[in-house]
Amino acid sequence: MDRKKLVTKTSIMLGCGESDEQIEETLKDLRKYNVDVVTFGQYLQPSRGHMKVEEYVHPDKFEHWKKMADNMGFLYCASGPLVRSSYKAGEFFLRDYLNK
């Protein structure tokens, strides 16, 4: 497969006890390995049997990570409390990509 036609994507759930340094290091690693698209969402405990939420992340922090991802050269970043890995990422990416 031609790498130029392949778009790679990953997602990061916030609120699990991660530090800013860990998130920033993860973003650097993702760029090093040419990941194109990243999304950030709030981890929500699906049931009492799952890991508890450590922190409800403020929307300003999601905006901070979006700006950082954009500045690092990701082709697209969706970031917000209700964003999920499939959160219209393809739709938004294509719209933004075609408008460039």
pLDDT at position 65 is: 98
pLDDT at position 99 is: 67
| Residue ranges in the chain modelled with pLDDT below 50 | none
pTM of structure: 0.83
Burial of 26 (0-12, 13-18, 19+ CB in 10 A): middle
pLDDT at position 85 is: 72
- How many Cβ atoms sit within 10 Å of the Cβ of residue 20? 11
pLDDT at position 97 is: 63
pLDDT at position 69 is: 98
pLDDT at position 86 is: 67
